[in-house]
Chain A
């Protein structure tokens, strides 16, 4: 599996809606099962926070266990898009996939490194 963080552009205006996608791509030649509950991000971390941190992005779980698992054929992908408005400054986005559920999921990655399956390369955007 490969994780990618994507945005239309690198520089945005303050007050403009910044759209960022976290995409999980099955870059193998085998079918892969992806649990949507284990995909964390995109998580914005502004260089200059003004208060409490932005919440980490996850998604609601389905009540039936099998509904939380997405089967990905080779070179197919699953993803999540979020929008935010930021004050001027640099914002770094993170995204990662867990091997198993963990208690806390900070924006940059789990405290327990063994629980990390794969992480996306952080995406840095500028807001002017």
Chain B
């Protein structure tokens, strides 16, 4: 039974990977045919800029993307086609970092001063060009790329199976089910096994929405506001370290059945986080997508009124706080998920001292009915 459980978990991980792939295909499908046509040209452009994870390549990608994003038609829409290609090649987190970097540079006036002025879209008056940006809150908490690359296990992809929604607003929104990232001695025996890799309640990448305002096209003192492209990004990742099956140090022995049950439990933690993500963060992301870009601007009496409308529609702070709180209560070690699981019939037990293959262990961990006296 335990082996079955472990097998089920592995199959689930693969499914998640496929699901992520399918989602990426959907992203592609959600873009207009026009935007997708030059894909091969974009791929060759990316290759020309570099195809590694070096800082130089990152900066070249950021520069190229920034140029496209700060250009009006016809170059502007190319960024929409370029981003999914970068996401496929480098992963969502990489693209988040790119967008975050561009946003920070723009806030510092670096790119805004060198990029060409946006060309107004057809039907938009000159007044709309004079948009002013307003930070909706503290700066991004996206981790540093170099630090993250250093932390990434050798040979491991940063991409992972992505599950979530991505849309043509060029912002990636994801819950990453990282599954098991490796095996180590169970933490009861001093190792890192049977532990999560991320803090409970944590959000791995959080770029608050930045609102841009402009007077309404029709005049009359009314104003419009929208979320700036590349902001309003949330990324949650959950993964864990598996314990070893069999000997875990000198004192602990975990049977195949108990090991499978522990794996199932850890997958359950990830699923619980995903459920809170779906409940509290996905609606935020949907609201951000609905308000991103000039074309999806809201209109109000004043800039403050527009800000109030966007704040209420997106509900960023309340949703993020609810996610953090519920994830903490549920997934904290000894929290509600652990408590609920401990009361199940197939939980694992410590059957005490036992000799296995001539080695004496102080703790033999197994499922019921146990090893027999």
Give A residues with C-beta under 8 Å from B.
45, 49-63, 67, 80, 82-85, 103-107, 111
- Contact between B344 and A104, CB atoms less than 8 A apart: yes
Residue numbers in A under 8 Å from B251 (CB-CB): 83, 85
- Contact between A50 and B187, CB atoms less than 8 A apart: yes
Given contact pairs A49-B333, A61-B373, A56 touches B344 in the complex (Cβ within 8 A): no
Residue numbers in A under 8 Å from B343 (CB-CB): 103-106, 111
Cβ distance A19 to chain B, nearest Cβ, rounded Å: 11
Number of interface residues of B (CB under 8 A): 38
Interface status of B94 (Cβ within 8 A of chain A): no
Q: How many A-B residue pairs have CB under 8 A?
A: 95
- Contact between A103 and B333, CB atoms less than 8 A apart: no
- Contact between A52 and B262, CB atoms less than 8 A apart: yes
Q: List 19 A-B contacts (CB under 8 A).
A: A45-B334, A49-B338, A50-B333, A51-B186, A51-B333, A52-B266, A54-B188, A55-B363, A57-B352, A58-B352, A59-B351, A61-B373, A82-B363, A83-B362, A85-B190, A103-B343, A103-B344, A104-B343, A104-B347
Main secondary structure, interface of A, reads loop
Complex Cα spacing A59 to B369, Å: 10
Residue numbers in B under 8 Å from A53 (CB-CB): 333-334, 338, 342
Interface status of B349 (Cβ within 8 A of chain A): yes
Residue numbers in A under 8 Å from B339 (CB-CB): 106
A52, A56, A82, A107: most-surrounded residue (chain B CB, <10 A): A52
Give B residues with C-beta under 8 Å from A.
186-190, 193-196, 243, 251, 258, 262, 265-266, 333-334, 338-339, 342-345, 347-352, 354, 362-363, 365, 369-373
Cβ distance A30 to chain B, nearest Cβ, rounded Å: 27
- Contact between B349 and A58, CB atoms less than 8 A apart: yes
Residue numbers in A under 8 Å from B365 (CB-CB): 55
Q: Which of A51, A61, A84 contacts B187 (CB 8 A)?
A: A51
Complex Cα spacing A51 to B188, Å: 8
- Contact between A106 and B352, CB atoms less than 8 A apart: no
Complex Cα spacing A107 to B194, Å: 18
Cβ distance B269 to chain A, nearest Cβ, rounded Å: 9
- Contact between B262 and A59, CB atoms less than 8 A apart: no
A45, A60, A103, A104: most-surrounded residue (chain B CB, <10 A): A60
Complex Cα spacing A60 to B350, Å: 9
Complex Cα spacing A55 to B371, Å: 15
Residue numbers in B under 8 Å from A55 (CB-CB): 258, 348-350, 363, 365
Complex Cα spacing A61 to B366, Å: 13
Given contact pairs A51-B196, A54-B188, A106-B342, A82 touches B373 in the complex (Cβ within 8 A): no
